[in-house]
Structure 1
Amino acid sequence: MSPPSHIETHPNLAGAAPVALSYELFPPRSPAAAESLWTTIAELEATSPDYVSVTYGASGSNRDTAVELINRLVQETTLRPLAHLTCVGNSPQELAEIIGELLDVGVRGILALRGDQPKDGGVPPEGSLRYAQDLIELIRRVEQRRSALLCAGKVAVGVAAYPTRHPESPSEAHDIEVLLAKQRSGADFAITQVFFHTEQYADLLTRARRAGVTIPIIPGVMPLTSIRRLTRLSELTGVEPAPELIERLAAAGSDAERARIGVGATVDLANAALDAGAPGIHLYTFNEHTAALDVLDRLALPRPRRTAHGAVRHSPEPRIAARQLAS
């Protein structure tokens, strides 16, 4: 038997990694929305997230504004953007051009998504990509052609994961097989769609690991403070929020009380995921920072401190309040 390598026996490599922190933003739809968004970006930047994801409309409907937002994030902030990209309705040539454009502005992370099928029931144009798996393989091809240009940072490819059955899927087992196929095609990590019950992330993780999925699966958590938003997402995902939470939110006597109830429920959801082994938390902000930062304060994630020059220094304390990172 060969002796263990120096890497295997090195004591400093066994410690737990800091918990990853990220946010989701979407491109603004008006000048007023843009002004509000940049206030939110400044507030979120102060927490030193690992990246922020930027959504991309169905069939690239807001492509120009998404790329503009990503470019400004790269040029004007310290934030690292994770660019969403959908493939339904686009040819490989069109998508390769978009991927190249993203890389040219400094993007080094892409969330590869299938995107929504045509709402009119029509068939996507012949030759267009059909699945996220195809998009992952295309990203890797573009990356390979540009390998000499990317020596300072290869591309990290993320994908979606589903704690509950995808609305178009025959079963949760099928969803896991799809996730495994994405991993085989070159996915580096996954971010879950929203979920509303504390056990759902742990159940997903158990099923995925048993099937052979080894990539990190990051829980996507939404601040549970808006009944309207909860209802809308429930319609889209087919997953009902806990009735008692809806009742408590509806019975709240003020916006402040409603926010307190919703933030508390969100923290419970995130902590359950962390207890199950989640490597990070991805917060769906809906371009609003208040609830997201309230959740972050309550979570007190073990995050690396950043010095005045931006260098990372890991704190010896087990848990650090997120807002303290900016001080």
Structure 2
Amino acid sequence: MKVTEHIERANGKPLFSVEILPPLKGQDVNCTFKTLDPLVEMKPAFIDVTYHREEFVYKQKENGLLKRHQVRKRPGTVAICAAIQNHYKIDAIPHLICGGFTKEDTEDALIDLNFLDIDNVLVLRGDPIKSEKTFVPEVDGNAYASELIEQVTALNKGVYLDDELQETNKTDFCIGIAGYPEKHFESPNLAMDMFYLKKKVELGADYIVTQMFFDNQKYFDFVKKCREMDINIPIIPGIKPLSTFNQLKTLPQNFYLDLPETLAMEVLKAKDKETVKQIGLEWCINQSKELLEFGVPGLHFYTMSNSINTQKIANAIF
């Protein structure tokens, strides 16, 4: 079922959904099931599965030289989505990214997803790999999320890259995109970020999931700006509890967000790890309750494949 259909059928009742990482190479699907089993009890409407690009690593050769290899540490996004839908009968949503894919690769992946009865994709440009200062697209690949949306919508119309194909099958993917209440870190300002967000909606995006945030006012202002620009598709807030002292530094560094002063000061005063975790949980529970009062279409939790905190929060608010 499409995300938009889930929202419509909920009749105003907020949805619960989660995002997980694929297991590391060398692990099996049971690692995913172990993460999801406690969360499935909360009846999530859908489960997102992230996609991770190859990283370049250097390995020692016998002659002492270093050889460059491409390695994907978390393969299997499409297969994990198929396993989730088969095992739990819950809609799984793969992340579809530009980096690491040619347009042919993308089309083939979409064909596979269509064969697997996967109805939704979350379309993202993707981040640069560690060895890149800026994002570098594949040769003959999509350079921007907007181009990726155009390719998905073309397939939804039965338009394939090979224009000689006749009587082609039309796919019917529901397209999700990312929204940034505190703007994308590469955008020079929020106004330009909003301009490109609207372009993605005009190209065919069906719903928005936001980057994580810890200040609800940022989300409220973001929604207001969207509606003023006639961006009227559902905007699902993405949230995550702060759980370690180190995240005071890593979350702003990695996700380019602000942490509220009150939250940061409470964490700084904490005497041990458990206190920090409890502060983060209480903040996220209160944040979630305020978002529900605002009338959000759902709450999307970034679990990082750690289900315990998400389960505690969901039990407290749903």
* TM-score using structure 1 length: 0.79
Residue 144 of structure 1 aligns with which residue? 157
Residue 27 of structure 1 aligns with which residue? 22
Query: Are the aligned partners of 1:74 and 1:105 in contact in 2 as well (CA < 8 Å)?
Result: no
Change (3 A) 1:223 1:132: same
Aligned residues: 285
**SS of residue paired to 1:110:** strand
Q: Give CA-to-partner distance per residue, 1:31-74, whole Å, 9 cap, x none.
A: 56854432121111111111000000136946742122112112
Query: Are the aligned partners of 2:24 and 2:75 in contact in 1 as well (CA < 8 Å)?
Result: no
Query: Are the aligned partners of 1:194 and 1:222 in contact in 2 as well (CA < 8 Å)?
Result: yes
**SS of residue paired to 2:123:** strand
Q: For 1:120, give the aligned amino acid.
A: E
Residue 207 of structure 1 aligns with which residue? 225
Q: For 2:191, give the aligned amino acid.
A: A
Change (3 A) 1:35 1:16: closer
Q: For 1:49, give the aligned amino acid.
A: P
Residue among 50, 56, 59 paired with 2:51: 56
Change (3 A) 1:251 1:99: same
Q: How far is the alpha carbon of 1:226 from its aligned partner?
A: 2.3
Q: Give CA-to-partner distance per residue, 1:206-230, whole Å, 9 cap, x none.
A: 1111111011010000012223345
**SS of residue paired to 1:53:** strand
Aligned-partner Cα distance in 2 for 1:265–1:295: 10
Q: For 2:49, give the aligned amino acid.
A: V
Q: How far is the alpha carbon of 1:110 from its aligned partner?
A: 0.1
Asked if residue 227 in structure 1 is aligned to residue 222 in structure 2, the reply is no
Asked if residue 170 in structure 1 is aligned to residue 188 in structure 2, the reply is yes
Q: For 1:78, give the aligned amino acid.
A: K
Asked if residue 239 in structure 1 is aligned to residue 257 in structure 2, the reply is yes
Residue among 72, 83, 97 paired with 2:108: 97
Change (3 A) 1:168 1:77: same
Residue 74 of structure 1 aligns with which residue? 85
Q: How far is the alpha carbon of 1:113 from its aligned partner?
A: 0.3
Q: For 1:45, give the aligned amino acid.
A: V
Q: For 2:94, give the aligned amino acid.
A: A
Change (3 A) 1:47 1:177: same
**SS of residue paired to 2:232:** coil
Change (3 A) 1:258 1:50: same
**SS of residue paired to 1:157:** strand
Query: Can you give the 5+ residue segments of structure 2 that lack an aligned partner in the other structure?
Result: 1-7, 56-71, 160-166
Q: Give CA-to-partner distance per residue, 1:90-119, whole Å, 9 cap, x none.
A: 322111011111222221110000112354
Residue 164 of structure 2 aligns with which residue? none
Q: Which moved more, 1:94-103 or 1:155-164?
A: 94-103
Asked if residue 45 in structure 1 is aligned to residue 50 in structure 2, the reply is no
CA RMSD between the two structures: 2.6
Query: Are the aligned partners of 2:157 and 2:170 in contact in 1 as well (CA < 8 Å)?
Result: no
Aligned-partner Cα distance in 2 for 1:267–1:57: 29
Query: Are the aligned partners of 1:45 and 1:78 in contact in 2 as well (CA < 8 Å)?
Result: no
Query: Can you give the 5+ residue segments of structure 1 that lack an aligned partner in the other structure?
Result: 1-12, 301-327
Q: How far is the alpha carbon of 1:128 from its aligned partner?
A: 1.8
Aligned-partner Cα distance in 2 for 1:90–1:32: 24
Change (3 A) 1:233 1:97: same
Query: Are the aligned partners of 2:49 and 2:94 in contact in 1 as well (CA < 8 Å)?
Result: yes
* Aligned pairs for 1:226-305 within 5 A: 226-300=244-318
Residue among 134, 137, 150 paired with 2:147: 134
**SS of residue paired to 1:58:** coil
Q: Which moved more, 1:173-182 or 1:55-64?
A: 55-64
**SS of residue paired to 2:79:** helix
* TM-score using structure 2 length: 0.81
Residue 120 of structure 1 aligns with which residue? 132
Aligned-partner Cα distance in 2 for 1:219–1:288: 19
Query: Are the aligned partners of 1:199 and 1:272 in contact in 2 as well (CA < 8 Å)?
Result: no
Q: For 1:285, give the aligned amino acid.
A: T
Query: Are the aligned partners of 1:220 and 1:284 in contact in 2 as well (CA < 8 Å)?
Result: yes
